[in-house]
Amino acid sequence: MSDVAPQSEPDDGPRILIAVIRTGGIAGIRRHWQVEPPREEMPRWVELIDRCPWEEPCPTQRGADRYIWSIRAHTPDVRHERELPESALDGPWRRLVDAVREASATPDSPASRA
């Protein structure tokens, strides 16, 4: 039996980074939210990312002054990028975007890294 404690995993291991950018609208203001969750929160974020239909065709939206959402999710295994019109931001997309916005709006949250 050893008295040596197991070494903790180094902090520079695989990470997750999720960025959401909203452009458009009447004023054309660009907004950016980003999270890089700590290792213990990674499974929750991977699940949110995996539920999004990254490869499905997206409906087009015509008209002026509409929001466009750009979503990037980088995990240790995959890199996803997608642009969606406001009208397509529902279901798993909405849950992912809302989670990123909430985490980055809370400065004390360990997941916020903006």
Q: Cβ atoms within 10 A of the Cβ of 3, count?
A: 4
Look up residue 29 and give its two tokens. Answer: 């203001």
Report the side by side order of strands in the sheet with 79-85: 31-35, 17-24, 67-74, 79-85
3-class secondary-structure state, position 36: coil
> Residue ranges of the domains in the chain?
17-55+65-105
State pTM to two decimals. 0.78
Are 13 and 42 a contacting pair, CB within 8 Å?
no
**Mean predicted lDDT score pLDDT of the chain:** 82
90-110 pLDDT, tens digit per residue, is 999 999 999 999 999 866 555
- pLDDT tens-place string over residues 39-65: 999 999 999 999 999 998 876 666 666
